[in-house]
Amino acid sequence: MTKPCRIVAVLGTRPEAIKLALVIHELRRRPAEFETAVVHTGQHRTMLDNALKHFKIKPDFDLDVMRPNQTLSSLTGRVLDTVENACHRFGPNMVLVQGDTTTAFASALAAYYCKIPVGHIEAGLRSHDIYNPFPEEANRRLVSVVTEIHFAPTANSRDALLAEGIPASKIVVTGNTVVDALRGLSQLPHSWEDTPLAGIPEDGSRLVLVTSHRRESLGTDQQNMCLALKDLVKKYPDIRVIYPVHMNPNVRSTINALLGDTERIHLTEPLDYITFVSLLRRCFMVLTDSGGIQEEAPTFHKPVLVLRRVTERPEASEFGLARIIGMSREGIVREAERLLTDKEAYQDMSVGGNPYGDGRAAERIVEAITRWHQGKMPLLEPEKEFHLPPKPTYRRRKTDIHEAAAAAPREKVRS
Ligand code: UD1
Ligand code: UDP
């Protein structure tokens, strides 16, 4: 019998915990095949610990690197050093990293320095602008250089990796693990008692869920967004903005200064995952610059206005479920108003279906690692990979109906 494959799964921020949780559970479900150590760099503290508690994951190593208002360089240095040390202690066959954070980048580099193969989950997302998102676009590309298996969530991300010369044999299309995490949440609470949302009047208002934390938006862009939110609540008395504010002190200072004490704008502490998802399910629409939230919202049929100039997650906008709206005050107001006032536009963006995954990403990732460890190829049979359903069956947009009508013989067209 082959020896179990030793895996180190590294996480450090809230989205990494949420997106790795089901992979860790899947690895631990198979103790004869895998010995898994969870390394928590501690890049985030409160926000990540909340997520780990929800998924009942106890880290084996806690590297405790977070410092208030940490710089990217000092953070990178601390993660590199401490993860290398953890690798020496555990001796893994593979180090798994997720996404584009400093934890992911520095851990992949540490593994490379120890000559340990890297498995990169959520590989191949590209905006093609190294300052948007910053520093995530560069982090993600740098991880690709030292990666042994690229777990690309979608065909788009696979194609981006192929275009960079990465061999097809090292890429597996898995779907995004965030959809797996949502699948485990069938029992969402109906009450917000004892949560930071308690006390928000349930008066039938339409709830606009807002989050924004990206480094490239700090300052003017975030100020514009705040002014736009104020314009919207002033003009639409039947809406309430709910904004769980990220713990980054540079985000907090702007948001609290401009939006604190504004009628019908509710600023809250970060929400635990289940409360956040229950809010996502109940809200009318989402304004966000978050990667994970863009990927989650289609599961709940919620239109997303993306508070960015570019996205490395184009699938939802390609399917008409999201729009990239930038960060100008006028643009944000205009796009939000369209959804608040135009029922057809709203319906067209809320047909749902999730183009990012089908809830089986963790299974595919673990099967591919098993085959890799056994020296088998391909890493996953092509028919087992994640495939999008073809567009017309996935959602029937008005434009598709019009195109079909235009293509049909004239006498058969009915109104
Ligand atoms: C990080 C990631 C970003 C990801 C985001 C998810 C990098 C460079 N950025 O951004 O890709 O989208 O996490 O949320 O990796 N803080 C706390 N408690 C916490 C978390 C943060 O106090 O639980 C404060 C600290 O002062 C910290 C600051 O927030 O210094 C910024 O955290 P950091 O991880 O450096 O960057 P984020 O902006 O959170
Ligand atoms: N999230 C949460 N509580 C909140 C806000 C977000 O649990 O108050 C979850 C959300 O469901 C998603 C993830 O955190 O899965 C996104 O994290 P974030 O926006 O911090 O990072 P990004 O995805 O942009 O890297």
**Residue-averaged pLDDT of the chain:** 92
Distance from the CA of 14 to the center of ligand 2, in angstroms? Answer: 6
Determine the Cα–Cα distance for residues 243 and 267; give it in Å rounded to an integer.
Answer: 5
The token duo for 244 is: 């769980």
Mind listing the pLDDT tens digit for each residue in 303-355? 999 999 999 999 999 999 999 999 999 999 999 999 999 999 999 999 878 99
| Residue 7 binned pLDDT confidence (cut-offs 50, 70, 90) | very high
Active-site residue numbers?
Answer: 100, 122, 136, 213, 215, 246
pLDDT of residue 184: 75
Mind listing the pLDDT tens digit for each residue in 54-77? 999 999 999 999 888 889 999 999
Determine the Cα–Cα distance for residues 188 and 191; give it in Å rounded to an integer.
Answer: 9
Determine the Cα–Cα distance for residues 125 and 17; give it in Å rounded to an integer.
Answer: 19
Distance from the CA of 278 to the center of ligand 1, in angstroms? Answer: 23
Does any ligand 2 atom lie closer than 6 A to the CB of residue 295? no
Distance from the CA of 151 to the center of ligand 2, in angstroms? Answer: 21
Ligand nearest to the CA of 143: 1
> Please, are residues 48 and 17 in contact by the beta-carbon 8 Å criterion?
yes
Does any ligand 2 atom lie closer than 6 A to the CB of residue 133? no
Ligand nearest to the CA of 181: 2
For 64-188, where are the E strands, in sequence order? 94-98, 118-121, 149-152, 171-173
Q: Do 5-175+360-384 and 206-353+392-407 show the same overall fold?
A: yes
Q: What are phi and psi of 389, to 5 degrees?
A: -65, 150
- Atom number in ligand 2 closest to CA 214: 24
pLDDT of residue 189: 72
Give residues with Cβ within 8 angstroms of 188, minimum separation 6: 274, 277, 278, 281
- Atom number in ligand 2 closest to CA 18: 15
pLDDT of residue 415: 26
Mind listing the pLDDT tens digit for each residue in 295-309? 999 999 999 999 999
| Residue 389 binned pLDDT confidence (cut-offs 50, 70, 90) | low
Write the DSSP assignment of 377-397 as a string of letters.
SSSS-GGGS--PPPHHHH---
Mean pLDDT across 6-33: 98
| Residue 102 binned pLDDT confidence (cut-offs 50, 70, 90) | very high
Say which CATH topology domain 5-175+360-384 has. Answer: Rossmann fold (3.40.50)
Does any ligand 2 atom lie closer than 6 A to the CB of residue 273? yes
Say which CATH topology domain 206-353+392-407 has. Answer: Rossmann fold (3.40.50)
Does any ligand 2 atom lie closer than 6 A to the CB of residue 196? no
Mind listing the pLDDT tens digit for each residue in 183-201? 878 677 778 999 999 999 9
Q: Report DSSP state, residue 269.
A: P
Ligand nearest to the CA of 76: 1
Domain coordinates of the chain in residue numbers? 5-175+360-384, 206-353+392-407
Among the ranges given (161-165, 233-237, 361-365, 391-395), the one the predictor scored with the smallest mean pLDDT? 391-395
